[in-house]
Amino acid sequence: MFLFVIFITTIAYVFGKANGYGLSFAGIALIISGVMSLGSYYFSDSLVLATTGAKPVKKADYPELYRIVENLSIGDGLPMPKVCVLADPSPNAFATGRDPKHGVVCVTTGLLERLNKSELEGVLAHELSHIKNFDTRVMAVAAILVGFVAILADFFMRSLWFRGSDDDRGRANGIFIIIGIVFAIISPIIATLLQLAVSRKREFLADASGALLTRYPDGLASALEKIAADPRPVRTASNATAHLFIANPFKGKDTKAWFTSLFNTHPPMEERIKLLRAM
Amino acid sequence: MSVPVIIAIVLLLIVVFYVWGLYNKLATGKVRIKEAFSGIDVQLKRRTDLIPNLVESVKGYAKHEKDIFENVTKARSALMKADSPHQKAESDNMLTGALKSLFAVSENYPQLRASENFKQLQDELSDTESKIAYARQFYNTNVRDYNTTLVNFPGSVLGNMFGFKEEEFFEAQEEERKNVKVSF
């Protein structure tokens, strides 16, 4: 995250210098990006439920699932989140919510069919840890920063069209303009890569926090093995919601090639399982 | 103001903020521990509330197992009277032992085993025991973090200054963890 902020500050500085408008420019971009992201963060629980089609369930419908979530939230001292089930044969789970008071945890019917109790506990502990670690907030901030960079780059490119009579601002700005154009092209990509790196780190963190909660990392490890073995994608997942799931909902091979693996929202399964088994 | 004076003031401010932060961390820790302890109490109460029903339903089929009922009732009152974490942990263990005997005895009465009421109570009791285990874990985690801060430096120095003391873990002594003998 720190790296991300340094990156943003550099961008804002370069763009500011290049066209002499300074920081007011950056301020507007930040506000636009902020409003967009904060809206989705604040209503993340209802938004995600609406887009994926997950339905809240009562204790009577899925007593074992409900009890596991209840017990785990006692173990972490958190208020109990809403429990939802998504009718989909692909085994997966996600959690969202702006803070523990508004948490939502969801599992697919495919997951419930395949996992035994300790594996289910491992998965739910991982999801609960996402809520506990305020990961939605972290990813929302990251999204704001990415949006900020993209808008800033956009502003900058547009401002180049209107340079016209401003030639007396001085030739010294020339070099910054060139750097600025290069940055404007690659910075949105770099920002996205940094956001994905943050997402992967938070997945590892949730794995570790979940294992700490259950005191049984093997449960989550064997659950991940079972999930990885199923090749079907989750039908209602989209690019916007992909990072919320415990495993990449689009399945397909985890690309090992270094460059494309930078674009994964989740760390490779084998690495996650290896780390858990070694705990 | 000369540079050395400014540096001295900045260092002093750093120390002040650090002590302030540490004090708050310890104070917050204490509040969390209290909350976690009452969390355990909530689950213990659930359990003690379930027991009279359980004893009644077993009595319906196995009236003459008086010893077992007495043990369970005694252990239950002991738990309700217990105060400190250590006492509660001990009486909780005793109650678990007494309940084990009760369930072992109920194996001899197939009609009891089949009764819906009994099965449901058994389920709820075992769920309550899971909840107690998690509540204990949460409490002990908080106590561990708090005690660790107090034991490390400079927490130990400041802790003494401000009167923070180490808290008890929720656990029973080693001797009490003998296996409960089940006799028929």
pLDDT digits (tens, 9 = 90+) for B136-175: 999 999 999 999 988 888 888 888 888 888 888 887 765 4
Q: Is residue B48 in a domain?
A: yes
Count of pairs with CB atoms under 8 A, one residue in A, one in B: 26
Choose among A116, A126, A138, A163: nearest CA to A273.
Answer: A126
Nearest CA in chain B to A76: B138
Domain that holds residue B106: 3-177
Indicate whether A261 pLDDT > 80: no
pLDDT at A121: 92
B137 CB neighbours in chain A (<8 A) are: 75, 215
> Does the structure's ipTM exceed the value 0.90?
no
Q: Is the pLDDT of residue B125 over 90?
A: no
Do the Cβ atoms of B116 and B3 come closer than 8 Å?
no
Whole-angstrom distance, CA of residue B69 vs CA of residue B76: 10
**Cβ separation of A77 and B35 shorter than 8 Å?**
yes
Which of A38-52, A144-158, A231-245 shows the lowest mean pLDDT across its residues?
Answer: A231-245
- Does A267 score more than 70 pLDDT? yes
Query: What residue in A sits closest to B133 (Cα-Cα)?
Result: A75
* Cβ contact A75–B36 (<8 Å): no
Instruction: Band the pLDDT of B178: cuts 50, 70, 90.
Output: low
How do A82-86 and A55-56 pair as beta strands?
antiparallel
Work out how many domains chain A is built from and give that number.
1
Best residue in B31, B32, B130, B139 for a mutation probing chain A (most A CBs within 10 Å): B130
Phi, psi dihedral angles at A106 (to 5 degrees): -135, 140
DSSP state, residue A80:
P
- Supply B155's token pair: 């927490």
Lowest mean pLDDT among A131-145, A172-186, A221-235, B31-45: A172-186
Q: What is the pLDDT of residues A15-73, one digit of tens each?
A: 666 655 556 666 776 777 677 777 777 777 777 777 777 888 888 888 889 999 999 99
Contact A77 B39 (CB under 8 A): yes
Beta carbons of A74 and B35 less than 8 Å apart: no
- Give the Cα separation of A30 and A8 in Å (integer): 11
Q: Which tokens sit at A184?
A: 């404007």
Asked whether residue B184 is domain-assigned, the answer is no
pTM of the entire predicted model = 0.79
A218 lies within 8 A of chain B by CB? no
Are A85 and A57 in contact by the 8 Å Cβ rule? The answer is yes
A86: which residues sit within 8 A by CB, 6+ positions away?
Answer: A52, A53, A54, A55, A106, A107, A108, A109, A234, A236
Residue B101 lies in a domain: yes
Please give the average per-residue pLDDT across A193-198, as a whole number.
84
Percentage, residues of chain A above pLDDT 70: 76
Distance from CA of B131 to the nearest CA of A (A): 5
Cβ within 8 Å, pair A77-B43: no
Distance from CA of B15 to the nearest CA of A (A): 25
If you compute the radius of gyration of chain B from its CA atoms, what whole number of angstroms results?
A: 24
The Cβ of residue A159 has, within 10 Å, a number of other Cβ atoms equal to 17
Question: Which helix (H) or strand (E) is A55 found in, with range?
Answer: strand A55-56
Per-residue pLDDT, averaged over B101-128, amounts to 83
Spatial distance between the Cα atoms of A31 and A259, rounded to a whole number of angstroms = 32
CB atoms within 10 A of CB A120: 22
Q: Answer whether residue A168 shows pLDDT above 70.
A: no
Structural domain total, chain B: 1
Question: Given CB atoms, is A76 within the 8 Å cutoff of chain B?
Answer: yes
Residue B182 lies in a domain: no
H or E segment and range at residue A94: strand A93-96
- Best B128, B137, B141, B145 member to test A by mutation, with max A CBs in 10 Å, is B137
Is residue B19 predicted with pLDDT exceeding 50? yes
Domain coverage including residue A71: 1-279
Structure tokens, A217:
């990392």
Helix (H) or strand (E) holding A85: strand A82-86
Which residues are CB-neighbours of A141 under 8 A, at least 6 positions away? A1, A37
Residue B14 sits in a domain whose CATH number is: 1.20.1440.20
A265 touches A196 (CB < 8 A)? yes
* Surface-to-core class of residue A172, CB atoms within 10 Å of its CB (0-12 exposed, 13-18 middle, 19+ buried): exposed
Is position A121 annotated as part of the catalytic site? no
Q: How far apart are CA A162 and CA A169, in angstroms?
A: 13
Q: Does A71 touch chain B (CB under 8 A)?
A: yes
List CB contacts (< 8 A) between B36 and chain A.
77
Please, which pLDDT band fits residue A163 given cuts at 50, 70 and 90? Answer: low
Residue B119 falls inside a structural domain: yes
What's the one-letter identity of residue A228? A
Asked if A75 and B43 come within 8 Å (Cβ–Cβ), the reply is no
A67 vs B: CB within 8 A:
yes
